[in-house]
Amino acid sequence: MQENENQANPIEYPCSVVNRFECPYEKGKESNARFNVEDLFELASMAFAVEIALAVARKDSSAVHIKNKQDLYQALTDREMLNMILEQGLDYVLSDNETFDDTSRVPKQLERDNRDKTVDYFMTIEYSINLKN
Residue type, 36: N
Task: Identify the band that residue 48 occupies on the pLDDT scale cut at 50, 70 and 90.
Answer: confident
pLDDT (tens digit per residue) in 22-35: 665 565 555 555 66
pLDDT (tens digit per residue) in 82-125: 999 999 988 888 887 776 666 666 677 777 778 888 899 889 98
Please tell me what DSSP assigns to residue 122.
H
User: Could you please report the per-residue DSSP string of 11-58?
Assistant: PPPSS--S-TTS-TT-TTS----SS-HHHHHHHHHHHHHHHHHHHHHT
Average pLDDT, the chain: 77
pLDDT reported for residue 46: 87
